[in-house]
Structure 1
Amino acid sequence: MTNIIEESGVLNITRRGFIKASSAVVSTAALASGISLPFRSNPVAAAVSDQVDEKVVWSACTVNCGSRCPLRMHVQNGEIKYVETDNIGNDEYGDHQIRACLRGRSMRRRVYNPDRLKYPMKRVGNRGEGKFKRITWEEAYDEVTGTMQRLIKDYGNDSIYLNYGTGTLGGTVTKSWPPKATLIARLMNLCGGYLNHYGDYSTAQISAGLNYTYGGWAYNNSFSDLENTKLNIQFGNNPAETRMSGGGLIHHYIVSKNRSNAKTIIIDPRYTDTAGGREDQWIPIRPSTDAALVAGLAHVMITEDLVDQAFLDKYCVGYDQKTLPASAPKNADYKSYILGQGDDGIEKTPNWASKITGIPVDTIIKLGREMGTNRPCAIHQGWGLQRSANGELACRAIAMLSMLTGSVGVSGGSTGARESDINIPFVRFPQVDNPIQTSISMFLWTDAIHRHHEMTDKTDGVRGAERLQNPIKMIWNYAGNCLINQHSDINRTREILQDDKACEMIVVIDNHMTSSAKYADIILPDLTTSEQDDWCMDGKAANMPYFIYAQKAIEPQFEAKSIYEMCSQLAKRMGVEQAFTEGRTQEQWIEHLYAETRKQDPSLPTFEKMKEIGIYKRKYDHHYIAYEAFRKDPDANPLNTQSGKIEIYSEQLAEIAKTWKLKEDEVIHPLPIYVDSFEGHKDPLTSKYPLQLTGFHFKARCHSTYGNVAELKAAARQEVWINPIDAKERGIEHGDMVSIYNDRGEVRIAAKVTPRILPRVVALGEGAWYAPDGQKVDHAGSINVLTTQRPSPLAKGNPQHSNLVQIKAVQKA
């Protein structure tokens, strides 16, 4: 029943859970399938009272979808019986209930999941084999601190790395990203620091690219402002599947666009649910060719005198010769690039753009005219299109459309970035400065294990130092699945991690036996949000921001402990306990942070009132308008760019392009130009692998979170989208099992034959839990078996949507 590998004591197991146990070695298959978790507050309890003790407790879903949805836990006798969502407010826009999606409503199934980690464990087999031995918390703490002290002595603090993880992104005490905001970072910085990372798997290319355009993170108008626009254009933006809850943004998107009655155009290789009959036009586009479309649109607007010349002259640098920096060569401006007067000598006509993008010439011409004559124009881009090999250039190009139309900084307009919103300021957990200045791209940690000696600032984007001094010898993996599941080229990653002489210690802190947890040396079981108190912040409801006081609904399950308690105990052994805790418990920190917040904003409810109401909403009668002050007075409110203006031509990027060492097919450019990407539609590799594979965020999961909830997997099956033309060529019918493969690996999954995907393009939802069969063939539909670890040129980010594959039908039985 439980597939016990080896017994060294007595392990009494029932279908209701562990009653008594001593040391034993158990496989992850046993943990996943052989043991059912009890649906009561404590599996060790000997008896349950006949009297029903019922209460309703406010909690939250804190995963990384961009939402923060309130949950109301109905608890009976210490067990969560069912989950409801917000019941405060009404159905009026701007005063509505923040209703969780199906994922959040299935939280009970996460808390009581068969995959739940129950107690500390130590690896006893080969790394990745999934064999662990149960140990005590004291043994776990001693093992971790002992190894950490040895590695710091032998290699230095920069040999210890905090891996990317966003499983509890919405928490405050439990926050798992950015790294400096986590309690692991606080602990490590008190002990001498750690090797940091910059960027993230979601936005590396856009945050790096638009930083050189707008100076820092690029904001955009809120979706609520769509009610004031004249034209609504969404590049690869799909809130109906990525931010689909009441705490997300699809609600504001739909209501606001309907109020404006503006024409809505969706540009995406896939006909998404955000389109779903609510759009006026779907323009399918080849992946990684958005910058070519922008160039074709720009050609129409420039040659037909439809650009906002006054805006470009006053607020921008590098549109034409008049505003080009003195350091730039002649004809290095954007207008010259479009008209073919630049270095490449190619005029970026709609016909040129059509051949690259697959979009008809007439469609490009019509869209360019619509944009030039309907101002202000709301242009938003999702984050999927920048997760490509030329993503930095693509995102900068889309922003050009907001500049050409003069839409930046005005109501109804846009910046070309993803939508932004209003947040309620909140005092966060205090941070300790990291004594280690060196950081790497979050995407290159596998490289830093086995080739650190080659990694420099000019070749691999190392920051804070000219090169890496030490390899990664220890990894903290807290609330994240990027060790395996969410990192590219899983088979290559597995090979790197299986060598425990290279990276010597991996500590995984999580709720469930994820794909990454199977590669741990030490597993520490974490509490879910339902088992502890925390503030859940940054609720994204456009002009109605909110936060939630998530309170403990049930007692901790099994032997799981909070991240605060774990770090406090580790700090004690490292001699920094007082500095870490400052004499407070987790509950005291919760109250202290709120007291500090109320000092800044006394209008907030009292702490006792927040316990009662659970959720606090603040209504605004205005929209978020990005760079509004800059638009009104650019001299008094300059941007954080070198010039203080919007930089179409970036002198900084020109210098980077000269000094960094790039491969022949990699381009960093001062202008937002179009270049072909590796593993794009023109790559010679298409002769072997003719289909472009792109990923998308799947509604049944938030990345990989909720990926082990059986009911959600049944409600939304994992399938690969393929056009009927491509399916017919391969003898594939809807529902057939197919093999998707390239030189990196193979995935077998059912086919979804649909005209909602462009021919020669296939799509697979990201985040499915990797399930190999022993022959390196995945049967769950994990896209990262097929993605490359080759980073993008500037951000060194993950080009997860630049992949070439082939698909064939699997022989029917």
Structure 2
Amino acid sequence: MNAPPRLKPHSSHWGVFRAGWQGDRLVVEPHPNDPDPNGILQNFPEALRHRARVAQPMVRRGWLEKGPGPSDRRGRDTFVPVSWDKALDLLAGELARVRDAHGPGAIFGGSYGWSSAGRFHHAQSQVHRFLNTALGGYVKSVNSYSAGASAVILPHFLGPFEAVSRRNVTWDQVVAHSEIVVAFGGMALKNSMVASGGISAHVERRSMAAAAARGCAFVNVSPVRDDLPEEAHAEWLAPVPNTDTAMMLGMAHTLLAEGLHDRAFIERYCSGWAEFEAYLTGASDGVAKTAEWAAAICGLPAETIAGLARRMAGRRSLIVMAHSLQRAEHGEQPVWMAGVLAAMLGQIGLPGGGYNYALGAIAHYGKRHNAVPAAALPQGRNGVGAFIPVARISDMLLNPGAAFDYDGQKLTYPDIRLVYWAGGNPFHHHQDLNRMRRAFATVDTLVVHEIAWTATARHADIVLPTTMTLEREDIGAAPTDPLMVAMHRIAEPFGQARDDYAIFTDLAERLGKREAFTEGRDVQGWLRHLYEPTRKALAEKGLPAPSFEEFWEAGEITLPQDPDDGGILRAFREDPEGAPLPTRTGKIQLSSPTIASFGYDDCPGHPAWLAPSDAPAEGRPLWLVANQPATRLHSQFDFGGHSSAMKRRGREVMRIHPQDAAVRGIAEGDIVRLFNARGACLATAAVTEEVRAGVVQLPTGAWYDPEDPEDDMALCVHGNPNVLTRDVGTSRLAQGCTGQLTSVEVERFTGNLPPVRAFDPPA
């Protein structure tokens, strides 16, 4: 009988945990103080030594034999194993060639931030620091796939993204004060179970249960019923997808017509009411935005829309807007309109009331901030000023030199010769994957650091195997979680895998920049350096300030937190003259002369109903909701035990309403084909009334697996919905991701069922 495992502390984006070995079996246990631990932790045991791991440096055969240059063989070619020295010599030479021939502005640092919860082994910080210190800079991306539209529109009318999402209404306030919470897009626990930098206590489920027990009413406005948990006892309203703005306008018109809006609040705290009121009443365009008008658009009864507005008036009401609504065409509009509706109710700045963007979207929102800092790896100075909105990478690669609009600016796409990706899988995040394959074919060289053979790695020219979080030491910390964690190494590196830091150190050596990159520190030296600001701040507050050695031995320390002060919105409500908002007028802008001056037809100077062009039509009669998965973070560890167990017949599960299934002869468990003009994929059908009729739901994150890699329109046999989604910006204002919604047809698949090979290493 094996002895009980000795568990060591570690942390991840989906929870703090402890892990150790019992014989040859990895045991993972959540932190004992976590009231609602995340099952994604159980992806680790199977993933650690999975066949999908990259075991040694690999170079694409065509690149190795013919040299750098555009190639449509990416994703189709074979790979050649090489030694670390050869791989790094080849890569250093190519980096120097591009830098010298084209300048650092020809390099795109395409990394996303979810690779590791550690403060040091954060792949995005590592690659950006390397490109800055060793090459002079890189073309960067701004904003995120999750919040591309909201990050741009929120500062125009209310305040900075962080202030409106993270320093605003807390879960404690909801429990104590909220009387009605209307969640546009819901507050799904699968989303709030994860948090960048780690989370030690998942409190969302128990908070909603406690608020509901006190009498708070929750309303889930979403095409998916379980976008609020059972504990919230929520009322479910399911409008047609991408019509929430129309629904909110109908509610706003009811408040105005019945004199239920807070006129005193609008007069004192808001600007631009006259312009918005003219649009709402139809004085400016001849169309009154009544509840009846909204009902015809969003598919809910007019009395339901008006009744919800009446229920919110005069009560401690909170409007929550999920990321999902702004990940669609004209995604800026529901974000802005939700703020206007909250202003009309007069609740902004009150505890548990007003407007909180994305409460419940990740586990950091709705929490208090720590009173001491947790340092991050400095990235150095980027000498390149060019940038793109993060979701415009295919546009950039396919259209070098073309002009594009962004937040009032007219910018130009740079001419990229080399893409360096470390941490992230754009074949999960990005839309219209067949288009992205063509975009990746245009560059001279694509470099990828990866733990496993993702589709992005398969399309690379140089693939460098990296360690996963369990194979290295780090510090786990987040601004709104009081637990700082000493992330001990649990396992030895797989194959020849190396830390990103070791790889970049050796590359910097070859480029003559080792000292600039490392500052003379090894991994332990950096961990001590990053811990010191926290220790010093604790000491300055007269609190216990353990040395690094004491912290490492203890495994964790608890940090003090700031009081719940409501942030800038509370301060503004209490003193609008002394604490104005950082908007153009210092007030809540119900309309914006600044945005109006840009002249964007897809984002006017006040929130407005703009019909989507990608709505269902002949040949694609169903809405597809491509939302976040419940069994993994994005596409991470899709090959892990927890994620794999939730697939059916080896494929991702698509949910469909019984009415839509019956029309198509689809039964529970059938393999189905989803398709539109952009592509097609297979999935397993689950027939359920948990989704609105006319809607199918297929989560993102199943690794892209084309049946025939040689086919530019190949069927993805695994169930990646991004072969179907549309690669266009939310509007010319933000150019955000629109991957949440598209239109498709679904049919029962009757052909020979192709195998899933997504997790098999390439030839």
Task: Report the 3-state secondary structure (helix = DSSP H, G, I; strand = E; otherwise coil) of the residue aligned with 1:523.
Answer: strand
Q: Which of 635, 642, 646 is the matching residue for 1:715? A: 646
Larger relative contact order (CA 8 Å, sep ≥ 6): 2
Q: 1:442 to 1:621 in 2, by over 3 A?
A: closer
- Could you state the TM-score of these two structures normalised by the residue count of structure 1? 0.83
Q: CA deviation at 1:439?
A: 0.5
Q: What is the rounded CA distance, in whole Å, between the counterparts of 2:327 and 2:37 in structure 1?
A: 27
Q: What is the rounded CA distance, in whole Å, between the counterparts of 1:155 and 1:462 in structure 2?
A: 29
Q: 1:251 to 1:353 in 2, by over 3 A?
A: same
Residue in 2 that maps onto 1:90: none
Correspondence 1:639 to 2:584: no
Residue in 2 that maps onto 1:746: 680
Correspondence 1:390 to 2:330: yes
Structure 2: gaps of 5 or more residues? 63-72, 195-199, 360-364, 753-763
Q: What is the rounded CA distance, in whole Å, between the counterparts of 2:520 and 2:415 in structure 1?
A: 35
Q: Which of 28, 33, 53 is the matching residue for 1:116? A: 53
Task: Report the 3-state secondary structure (helix = DSSP H, G, I; strand = E; otherwise coil) of the residue aligned with 2:675.
Answer: strand
Correspondence 1:467 to 2:412: yes
Correspondence 1:700 to 2:631: yes
Q: CA deviation at 1:171?
A: 2.2
Alignment root-mean-square deviation, CA = 2.3
Residue in 2 that maps onto 1:81: 26
Q: 1:539 to 1:750 in 2, by over 3 A?
A: farther
Q: CA deviation at 1:260?
A: 3.6
Residue in 2 that maps onto 1:493: 436
Q: CA deviation at 1:593?
A: 1.1
Correspondence 1:235 to 2:170: no
CA displacement 1:88-115 (0-9 Å, x = unmatched): xxxxxxxx43654111133122222221
Residue in 1 that maps onto 2:671: 737
Q: CA deviation at 1:578?
A: 0.9
Q: Would the aligned equivalents of 1:85 and 1:105 in 2 still touch at CA under 8 Å?
A: no
Task: Report the 3-state secondary structure (helix = DSSP H, G, I; strand = E; otherwise coil) of the residue aligned with 1:106.
Answer: helix
Correspondence 1:561 to 2:492: no
Q: Would the aligned equivalents of 2:42 and 2:641 in 1 still touch at CA under 8 Å?
A: no
Q: What is the rounded CA distance, in whole Å, between the counterparts of 1:477 and 1:621 in structure 2?
A: 37
Residue in 2 that maps onto 1:11: none
CA displacement 1:187-218 (0-9 Å, x = unmatched): 11122110011111111011112121123213
Task: Report the 3-state secondary structure (helix = DSSP H, G, I; strand = E; otherwise coil) of the residue aligned with 2:699.
Answer: strand
Q: 1:80 to 1:584 in 2, by over 3 A?
A: farther
Q: Would the aligned equivalents of 1:59 and 1:551 in 2 still touch at CA under 8 Å?
A: yes
Correspondence 1:356 to 2:287: no
Residue in 1 that maps onto 2:525: 588
Residue in 2 that maps onto 1:532: 472
CA displacement 1:61-108 (0-9 Å, x = unmatched): 23xxxx4x112112357x663111212xxxxxxxx4365411113312
Q: Which of 323, 332, 335 is the matching residue for 2:277? A: 335
Q: Which of 693, 715, 718 is the matching residue for 1:777? A: 715
Q: 1:81 to 1:565 in 2, by over 3 A?
A: same
Q: Would the aligned equivalents of 1:266 and 1:275 in 2 still touch at CA under 8 Å?
A: no
Q: Residue 108 of structure 1 aligns to which amino acid in structure 2?
A: P
Residue in 2 that maps onto 1:145: 92
Q: CA deviation at 1:653?
A: 0.7
Report which stretch shifted further, 270-279 or 746-755: 270-279
Q: CA deviation at 1:806?
A: 0.9
Residue in 2 that maps onto 1:678: 613
Q: Which of 165, 175, 193 is the matching residue for 1:244? A: 193
Q: What is the rounded CA distance, in whole Å, between the counterparts of 2:579 and 2:86 in structure 1?
A: 56
Correspondence 1:415 to 2:346: no
Q: Which of 44, 49, 53 is the matching residue for 1:107? A: 44
Q: Would the aligned equivalents of 1:164 and 1:200 in 2 still touch at CA under 8 Å?
A: no
Residue in 1 that maps onto 2:247: 293
Q: 1:722 to 1:539 in 2, by over 3 A?
A: farther
Residue in 2 that maps onto 1:171: 118
Q: CA deviation at 1:168?
A: 2.0
Q: What is the rounded CA distance, in whole Å, between the counterparts of 2:12 and 2:330 in structure 1?
A: 34
Q: 1:360 to 1:53 in 2, by over 3 A?
A: closer
Q: What is the rounded CA distance, in whole Å, between the counterparts of 2:18 and 2:702 in structure 1?
A: 28
Residue in 1 that maps onto 2:398: 450
Residue in 2 that maps onto 1:654: 596
Q: CA deviation at 1:801?
A: 2.5
Task: Report the 3-state secondary structure (helix = DSSP H, G, I; strand = E; otherwise coil) of the residue aligned with 1:668.
Answer: coil
Q: 1:84 to 1:466 in 2, by over 3 A?
A: closer
Q: CA deviation at 1:751?
A: 1.4
Q: CA deviation at 1:783?
A: 0.5
Correspondence 1:346 to 2:295: no
Residue in 2 that maps onto 1:324: none
Q: CA deviation at 1:436?
A: 0.7
Q: Residue 137 of structure 1 aligns to which amino acid in structure 2?
A: W
Q: CA deviation at 1:142?
A: 1.3
Q: What is the rounded CA distance, in whole Å, between the counterparts of 1:637 and 1:141 in structure 2?
A: 54
Q: Residue 578 of structure 1 aligns to which amino acid in structure 2?
A: E
Task: Report the 3-state secondary structure (helix = DSSP H, G, I; strand = E; otherwise coil) of the residue aligned with 1:444.
Answer: helix
Q: What is the rounded CA distance, in whole Å, between the counterparts of 1:265 and 1:249 in structure 2?
A: 19
Task: Report the 3-state secondary structure (helix = DSSP H, G, I; strand = E; otherwise coil) of the residue aligned with 1:547.
Answer: strand
Correspondence 1:514 to 2:454: yes
Q: Would the aligned equivalents of 2:455 and 2:704 in 1 still touch at CA under 8 Å?
A: yes
CA displacement 1:413-466 (0-9 Å, x = unmatched): 13241123223221222231211111111111112222112134x3x6796x84
Task: Report the 3-state secondary structure (helix = DSSP H, G, I; strand = E; otherwise coil) of the residue aligned with 2:401.
Answer: helix
Residues 419-430 of structure 1: pairs in structure 2 closer than 5 A: 419=359, 420=365, 421-424=367-370, 425-430=373-378
Q: Would the aligned equivalents of 2:394 and 2:435 in 1 still touch at CA under 8 Å?
A: no
Q: What is the rounded CA distance, in whole Å, between the counterparts of 2:205 and 2:665 in structure 1?
A: 40
Q: What is the rounded CA distance, in whole Å, between the counterparts of 1:337 and 1:428 in structure 2?
A: 46
Query: When the two structures are aligned, how many residues end up with a matched partner?
Result: 710
Residue in 1 that maps onto 2:572: 630
Q: Residue 240 of structure 1 aligns to which amino acid in structure 2?
A: L
Q: Residue 549 of structure 2 aligns to which amino acid in structure 1?
A: E
Q: What is the rounded CA distance, in whole Å, between the counterparts of 1:646 and 1:156 in structure 2?
A: 43
Correspondence 1:55 to 2:9: no
Q: Residue 640 of structure 2 aligns to which amino acid in structure 1?
A: V
Residue in 1 that maps onto 2:759: none
Q: Would the aligned equivalents of 2:397 and 2:415 in 1 still touch at CA under 8 Å?
A: yes
Q: What is the rounded CA distance, in whole Å, between the counterparts of 2:431 and 2:725 in structure 1?
A: 5
Task: Report the 3-state secondary structure (helix = DSSP H, G, I; strand = E; otherwise coil) of the residue aligned with 2:226.
Answer: coil
Q: Residue 670 of structure 1 aligns to which amino acid in structure 2?
A: G
Q: CA deviation at 1:705?
A: 0.8
Q: Would the aligned equivalents of 1:455 and 1:467 in 2 still touch at CA under 8 Å?
A: yes
Q: What is the rounded CA distance, in whole Å, between the counterparts of 1:200 and 1:152 in structure 2?
A: 27
Q: Percent identity?
A: 26
Q: CA deviation at 1:629?
A: 1.5
Q: 1:239 to 1:60 in 2, by over 3 A?
A: same
CA displacement 1:595-620 (0-9 Å, x = unmatched): 12222232344323322332333476
